[in-house]
């Protein structure tokens, strides 16, 4: 039996730097940061007072008011992104077998915003003021369920919660599911809404967040010696994974193909990055093997690059180990100075950015890269995009607990 190939046929995004794929991409290419002072709540007493907020988002542009009211913010983001992705793909679900279409959504925090709000309501007014649908709203599975209900999809349905890796993990698990014949089409994405008073305070307490409050747009500085930490973001993104023959049969637009993946774990430190980079390097190597590629086949690396310098150094060393001398020739960039660290959606942002880089022959820049750390001496495409033909790109994500995920995508060819 011929191996099933998996392509991407639709994309949707709700990000701090743009609602809609083209607005998101234009911001990335031209380096327009979406990091601002927080408006969701009064953060004046917090050590970090900046974030990548999604502004001007009206969920009722994508769903009816009743549904919007019952969904947590991360689920609103994911459902809105799925509406855009489905429209972009031009797939007609009325002509499809609903049991062959699935949903895989990643999230780290889930409906934490609803839990935080309802706890206040409960403490002040008691249990009788808790809405009956709240048990669904707070669930990490809220988004996957809402998307399935919105489109009447009856196939495989999963929620993945693996911190910042959740989006990329959802991609490779859905990829494997299609290859195994569990379905022909899977909506894959992620959603996150961690910018609330309590959740944001937890991240502040970790000590990982930047305190560059007076210059938000320059707060995230990956690979830079002056980096003082990451900046939290929010948002959602969804892509449509489709079995190749199914996509060809309906004459679908194909953005690219998933070629391979890998996942590893440091297994040594719950909170920090393993400074030797061995597990991350192994993840890159395994992904190349899985994709039947060598380092010289990769034209672009889109990195996790979160602006936490010990991690950025570790990531750089891992790339050098995995790619050898060619590591110095491959353009590398991080999206985090533009979007912030939006946890699970960042992996989907990376997939979208890599596919658009392949489409347009453009590598987006790593912004705020003016004073590189001596150990960070690769080509990070500082501050301005470059033009380059790209046929294959690789991306990586990292999460607490030492998780590493790497995904490889490429231009579709027969």
> Per the structure block, which two tokens stand in for 291?
């994709």
Residues 100 and 209 in one domain: yes
Confidence at residue 131, expressed as pLDDT on a 0 to 100 scale = 87
Proportion of the chain above pLDDT 90, given as a percent = 89
Name the more confident of 62 and 400: 62
What's the token pair of residue 405?
Answer: 């995920």
The tally of domains found in the chain comes to 2
Tell me the pLDDT tens digit for each residue of 303-340. Answer: 999 999 999 999 999 999 999 999 999 999 999 999 99
Q: Once rounded to an integer, what is the mean pLDDT over residues 72-97?
A: 97
Span 192-205, mean pLDDT?
97
Which domain-ending residue is among 229, 249, 269? 249
348 and 243 share a domain? Answer: no
* 402 located within any domain: yes
**What's the pLDDT at 118?**
83
Tell me the mean pLDDT in the region 73-83. 98
**Beta-carbon-side half-sphere exposure of residue 130 (alpha carbons within 13 Å):** 18
Question: Is the domain of 209 the same as that of 317?
Answer: no
More confident position, 285 or 128: 285
- The answer to whether residue 62 is domain-embedded is yes
Is 381 within the bounds of a domain? yes
Do 180 and 213 belong to one domain? yes
Same domain, yes or no: 264 and 245: no
Q: Report whether 342 contacts 203 (CB < 8 A).
A: no
- 2 domain residue, yes or no: no
Taking the whole predicted model, whether its pTM rises above 0.95 is answered as: yes
**Mean pLDDT across 227-247:** 97
Other C-beta atoms lying within 10 Å of the C-beta of residue 40: 17
Q: Which of 249, 270, 294 is the last residue of a domain?
A: 249
Domain boundary among 195, 219, 249: 249
Let me know whether 229 and 292 are in one domain.
no
Neighbours of 269 (CB within 10 A): 12
Q: 34-38, 90-94, 137-141, 274-278 — which is least confidently predicted?
A: 274-278
Euclidean distance between CA atoms 71 and 62, whole angstroms: 12
Question: 187 with 332, same domain?
Answer: no
Instruction: Please check whether residue 1 lies inside any domain of the structure.
Output: no
Q: What is the extent of the structural domain holding 66?
A: 7-249
Distance CA 219, CA 238 (A): 27
Q: Is residue 373 part of a domain?
A: yes
Same domain as 328, residue 395: yes
Q: What is the mean pLDDT of residues 12-40?
A: 98
Q: Are residues 234 and 272 in the same domain?
A: no
243 and 304 in a single domain? The answer is no
Task: Provide the token pair at 172.
Answer: 């490779």
What is the overall mean pLDDT for the chain? Answer: 95
**What pLDDT is recorded for position 132?**
83
pLDDT digits (tens, 9 = 90+) for 260-309: 999 999 888 777 667 788 999 999 999 999 999 999 999 999 999 999 99
pLDDT tier for residue 128 given thresholds of 50, 70 and 90 = confident
- Going from the C-alpha of 308 to that of each of 47, 49, 182, 213, the distances in angstroms are 16, 17, 39, 16
Residues 102 and 244 in one domain: yes
CATH of the domain at 277: 3.40.47.10
Q: What is the pLDDT of residue 1?
A: 56
Q: Are residue 231 and residue 379 in the same domain, yes or no?
A: no
């Amino acid at each position: 039996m011929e191996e099933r190939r998996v392509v991407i046929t639709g994309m949707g995004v709700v990000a701090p730097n743009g609602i809609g794929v083209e607005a998101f991409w234009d911001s990335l290419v031209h380096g327009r940061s979406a990091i601002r002072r927080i408006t969701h709540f009064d953060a004046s007493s917090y050590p970090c007072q900046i974030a990548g907020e999604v502004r001007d988002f009206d969920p009722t542009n994508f769903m009816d008011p009743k549904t919007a009211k019952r969904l947590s913010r991360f689920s609103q983001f994911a459902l809105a992104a799925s509406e855009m992705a489905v429209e972009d793909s031009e797939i007609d679900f009325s002509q499809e077998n609903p049991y062959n279409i699935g949903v895989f959504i990643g999230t780290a925090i889930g409906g934490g915003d609803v839990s935080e709000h309802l706890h206040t309501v409960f403490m002040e007014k008691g249990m009788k003021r808790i809405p009956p649908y709240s048990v669904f709203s707070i669930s990490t599975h809220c988004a996957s369920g809402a998307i399935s209900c919105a489109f009447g999809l009856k196939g495989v349905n999963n929620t993945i919660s693996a911190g910042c890796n959740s989006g990329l993990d959802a991609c490779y698990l859905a990829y494997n599911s299609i290859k195994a014949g569990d379905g022909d089409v899977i909506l894959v994405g992620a959603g996150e809404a961690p910018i609330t008073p309590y959740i944001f305070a937890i991240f502040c307490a970790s000590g990982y967040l930047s305190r560059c409050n007076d210059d938000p747009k320059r707060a995230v500085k990956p690979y830079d010696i002056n980096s003082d930490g990451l900046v939290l973001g929010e948002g959602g993104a969804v892509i449509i994974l489709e079995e190749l023959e199914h996509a060809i049969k309906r004459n679908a637009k194909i953005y690219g193909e998933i070629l391979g993946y890998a996942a590893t774990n440091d297994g040594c430190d719950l909170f920090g990055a393993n400074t030797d980079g061995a597990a991350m390097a192994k993840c890159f190597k395994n992904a190349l093997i899985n994709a039947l590629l060598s380092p010289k086949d990769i034209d672009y690396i889109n990195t996790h690059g979160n602006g936490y310098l010990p991690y950025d150094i570790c990531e750089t060393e891992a790339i050098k180990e995995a790619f050898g001398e060619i590591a110095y020739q491959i353009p590398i960039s991080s999206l985090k100075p533009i979007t912030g660290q939006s946890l699970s959606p960042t992996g989907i942002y990376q997939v979208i950015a890599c596919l658009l880089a392949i489409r347009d022959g453009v590598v987006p820049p790593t912004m705020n890269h003016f004073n590189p750390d001596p150990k960070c001496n690769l080509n990070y495409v500082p501050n301005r995009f470059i033009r380059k033909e790209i046929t294959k790109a690789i991306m990586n994500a990292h999460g607490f607990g030492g998780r590493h995920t790497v995904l490889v995508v490429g231009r579709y060819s027969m």
